């Protein structure tokens, strides 16, 4: 592990509610590292907004925690909030349909699974809480990608080789963009065998109070369970659960209004 990174992170530990500001001399004394080394690490942290310099003179400098930590802390807070809010409804949905249920968000241009409710069926999926995957594979990731601005979609797509795991051919960008357009227009995503063989996934968006899609509620299981009338039941129950979670997050939009608009 990179020792410079570990040393820099250790410096952040010296800040607390009791000592929100520290001078270069104080940090040097606490760390027991050479002053030039401490100054170099502090400068790097300041450059990336993990620290901000509040005072500087020819004898010493004073630092406090930077806004980047506030930004990252808010991300963690939001993730914890949505997990806490969504889990009871995910568990209730799991009891009703007995399929695997995931909560998926975007993190650093990938899809990250932040919550999971397992099925009692004999089914093993290549997913776990904390797992990340490309945003173009699977119903949950594609739901998130479909609701990104077009420019960001392009940036994400260009970062990955569009290789489906069940196919040796490369999916074209035009093909993927057309699929994303369909997902956006229909309001749900559907995938077959993209992450695990013989499995199907369906996903619906979860909105926050501002109407932004911040997560996807994904249901996955054996493809034989996602056929005929049972598929319609799974879609409707998943949609209802996603809407319930969205409302708990402050979303004021209305599925009924969307239906009225389509008449």
Question: Which domains, ranges and CATH numbers included, belong to the chain?
Answer: 3-65 (1.10.10.10), 71-262 (3.30.450.40)
pLDDT beyond 90 at 81: no
Higher pLDDT, 218 or 125: 218
Share of residues in the chain with pLDDT > 90 (%): 55
Share of residues in the chain with pLDDT > 70 (%): 89
pLDDT beyond 50 at 257: no
Confidence of residue 73 (pLDDT cuts 50, 70, 90): confident
Mean local confidence (pLDDT), 83-104: 95
Give the bridge partners for 101, in sequence order.
Answer: 117, 219
pLDDT beyond 80 at 126: no
- Residue 53 backbone dihedrals phi, psi, to 5 degrees: -90, 120
pLDDT beyond 90 at 122: no
Tokens of 58: 């020819």
pLDDT of residue 163: 56
| 130 backbone φψ class: left, alpha, beta (φ>0; ψ -120 to 50) | left
Q: What is the DSSP letter of 191?
A: E
Q: How far is CA 104 from CA 22, 127, 240, 257, 259, in A?
A: 39, 11, 17, 26, 26
Which residue has tokens 């009338």? 229
pLDDT tens figures, 159-182: 765 555 555 455 677 888 899 999
Higher pLDDT, 59 or 143: 143
Q: How far apart are CA 188 and CA 202, in angstroms?
A: 7
| SS3 annotation, 60-106 | CEEEEECHHHHHHHHHHHHHHHHHHHHHHHHHHHHHHHCCEEEEEEE
pLDDT of residue 209: 87
- The answer to pTM > 0.75 is no
Mean local confidence (pLDDT), 222-232: 91
Count of CB atoms situated within 10 Å of the CB of 130: 10
What is the tally of helices (H) and strands (E) in the chain? 9, 9
Higher pLDDT, 22 or 255: 22
pLDDT of residue 262: 42
Confidence of residue 129 (pLDDT cuts 50, 70, 90): confident
pLDDT of residue 261: 45
pLDDT beyond 80 at 74: no
Confidence of residue 103 (pLDDT cuts 50, 70, 90): very high
Mean local confidence (pLDDT), 97-102: 94
Residues present in the chain in total: 263
pLDDT beyond 60 at 205: yes
pLDDT of residue 214: 93
- Among 116-130, 185-199, 201-215, which stretch is predicted with the lowest mean pLDDT? 116-130
pLDDT of residue 258: 44
What is residue 218's three-state secondary structure? strand
């Amino acid at each position: 592990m990179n020792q410079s990174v570990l040393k820099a992170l250790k410096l952040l530990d010296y800040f607390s509610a009791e000592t929100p500001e520290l001078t270069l001399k104080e940090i040097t004394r606490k760390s027991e590292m050479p002053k030039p080394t401490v100054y170099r690490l502090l400068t790097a942290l300041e450059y990336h907004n993990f620290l901000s310099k509040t005072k500087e003179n020819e004898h010493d400098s004073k630092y406090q925690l930077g806004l980047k930590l506030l930004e990252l802390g808010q991300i963690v807070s939001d993730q914890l909030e949505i997990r806490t809010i969504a889990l009871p409804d995910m568990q209730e949905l799991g009891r009703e349909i007995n399929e695997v249920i995931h909560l998926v968000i975007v993190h650093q241009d990938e899809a990250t699974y932040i919550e999971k409710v397992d099925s009692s069926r004999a089914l093993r999926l290549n997913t776990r809480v904390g797992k990340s995957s490309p945003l173009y594979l699977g119903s949950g990731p594609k739901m998130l990608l479909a609701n990104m601005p077009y420019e960001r979609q392009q940036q994400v797509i260009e970062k990955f080789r569009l290789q489906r795991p069940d196919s040796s051919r490369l999916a074209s960008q035009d093909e993927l963009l057309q699929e994303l357009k369909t997902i956006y227009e229909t309001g749900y995503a559907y995938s077959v065998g993209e992450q695990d063989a013989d499995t199907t996934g369906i996903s619906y968006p979860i909105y926050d109070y501002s109407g932004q899609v911040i997560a996807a509620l994904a249901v996955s299981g054996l493809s034989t369970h996602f056929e005929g009338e049972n598929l319609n039941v799974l879609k409707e129950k998943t949609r209802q659960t996603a809407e319930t979670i969205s409302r708990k997050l402050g979303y004021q939009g209305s599925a009924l209004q969307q239906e009225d608009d389509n008449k």
